[in-house]
Structures are given as C-alpha cells and as structure tokens.
Amino acid sequence: MAEYEWLLLPAAGSAMLCLLLVPLGYQVIARGVIFADLAIAQWAALGTLAGLYFLPNHTLAGAPVSSLMFALLAAVAVHLIFRRLAQAKEAWIGILYVVGASLAVLLVSGDPHGAQALQRAASGDLLWASGPAVLAIGMLSALVWLLSLWRPAWMTGAVFMPVFAVAVTYTVSLAGIYVVFATLIMTPLILGTLAGKGPFLAACCGIAGHLSAVVVSVTFDVPVGPAIVVAILVMSLLWLLALRWLAAQNFGALRPEAGRSQ
C-alpha cells in the first residue's frame, strides 16, 4: 500500500481541479465563450514556456509568474473582443488562440527539447503534481464555491474574467491545456446542459473520470493527460445514461400511482 502513497497528491490535484473548473465551466457555457477559455489556456501555456527561458524560477504559489501575466493579458483581450468586436467574436478568439500557439512553437523552435516542452504544455503531467500548486488550486476552488454561495451574481460581473484567468493559469501549469478544457467544458455541457444537473454533481463526475484515468495511466503506462480527456467524456456519458435511466424508472413508478388515484 505504501508504494501507492505518491498517488495521493495527483488524486488531490484532480479533485481540486474539478472543484475549481466545473463551476466556472457552467458560466463559460452560459456566456457563450467556450473557445475563449481555450485561448486563455493557450496563452497561459505560452507564458509558462516563456518563463522557462526568460524568467526561470519565478513562481507564485507553484505557478510561473509569466504564465499568470500572459493569461491575464489574454483575459483582457477576450474582454475587449466581447465588448467591441462582438459580431465576429469567435473569429477574433480563434486568431488569439492561433497566434498564441504559433508564438509557442516559435519560442521553442531553437530548443532540442522544444517538442517535449510543447507536449507538456498541451497535455501536462498530473502525476507529478507539486504540493504548492495543488494547495493554490484548492484555495482557489474554496474561494469560487464560497463566492458562489455568498454572492452568486459575481460570476456574471466583470470580476469573473480575471478570476477565470488565474484559475486557468494554475490548472494549465498543473495539468495542461487539453485536461483543463475537458474538465471545464465536458461535464458541465453533458450533465448541466443535457441533464439539467448542478455543478456539484458534475464536479463529482469529473473527479471520477480523473481518478479512473490516473489508475489507467499508472497501470498501463499511458500519458495521463489524454487518458483524463477520454475518461471524462466516457464517465460523463455513462452518468448521463444512468441519470436518464433513473428518471425513467421513477416516472414508470409514478404512473401506476397516478392511475390508482384516478
């Protein structure tokens, strides 16, 4: 049993990641800014890569300072796009994303290990989560849930985008772009939009997907990031089917009672 104790930190990181991103994902979908989060995540990853070359060892609670700066810059750009270029917002967000991705490729093009750096930025490696990063994400998730209970309207205000940028910065540095996007969108879309369920149930589903992927990654020696993306989708669809089956069972049980009452 002791040989698996090192998995406690990745498991905690997965749980904190889901608790932080899933409620934010509901608001992202409600605002119709689904691809904006991908653009911000890409710029956060670009900031991480830039920090390796220009600001090494400059971190804030486990996340590169440069990543936080680039994510906030992208969040400001997204805010301006939605305010002043709303008619073509998806096109401008696409431009923001592809420019960030291209700059990342150019940045590492002269590095023999550049391809590995790009892969880490895209799919991350949650198995090697650091304690400070997990703690920071845990504190952010607690803040998001407390604010949602105390002042639910904060998510619809101007403060949402900066908080979202900070959340994306820490989660991208921990898990990579793909995992962040999947955690942010898949369970809120499938369980929220299609099944009408709230963030807590969706977060539990995301945690189940994350943990099952970690087990698969360790058991079969496959990359944990792509495994998490696939596992979240499969788990969300299974939960959706289970919820619909339970709803059908409850409806079937109510029909005889309704007939007797008539």
* Phi, psi angle pair for 62, to nearest 5°: 95, -10
Please indicate, yes or no, if residue 255 is contained in any of the structural domains. no
Please indicate, yes or no, if residue 212 is contained in any of the structural domains. yes
Tally the domains of the chain.
1
Structure tokens at 241: 């089917």
Please indicate, yes or no, if residue 257 is contained in any of the structural domains. no
Residues in the chain predicted with pLDDT less than 50, given as ranges, are: none
For residue 261, the model assigns a pLDDT of 52
For residue 154, the model assigns a pLDDT of 81
Strand extents, DSSP E, the chain: 59-60, 63-64
For residue 236, the model assigns a pLDDT of 98
For residue 111, the model assigns a pLDDT of 86
pLDDT tens-place string over residues 58-79: 777 667 889 999 999 999 999 9
Structure tokens at 93: 């967000």
Please indicate, yes or no, if residue 233 is contained in any of the structural domains. yes
Enumerate long-range contacts of 245-253, CB under 8 Å, 24 or more apart: none
pLDDT tens-place string over residues 232-251: 999 999 999 999 999 888 76
Query: Cα separation of 209 and 231, whole Å?
Result: 5
Please indicate, yes or no, if residue 79 is contained in any of the structural domains. yes
- Domain holding 27, by residue range, is 7-248
Separation in Å, CA 39 to CA 96, 104, 189, 245: 6, 13, 19, 37
For residue 175, the model assigns a pLDDT of 93
Of 77, 93, 83, nearest to 35 by C-alpha is: 93
Please indicate, yes or no, if residue 200 is contained in any of the structural domains. yes
Whole-prediction pTM: 0.90
Q: How many residues does the chain have?
A: 262
Please indicate, yes or no, if residue 241 is contained in any of the structural domains. yes
Please indicate, yes or no, if residue 254 is contained in any of the structural domains. no
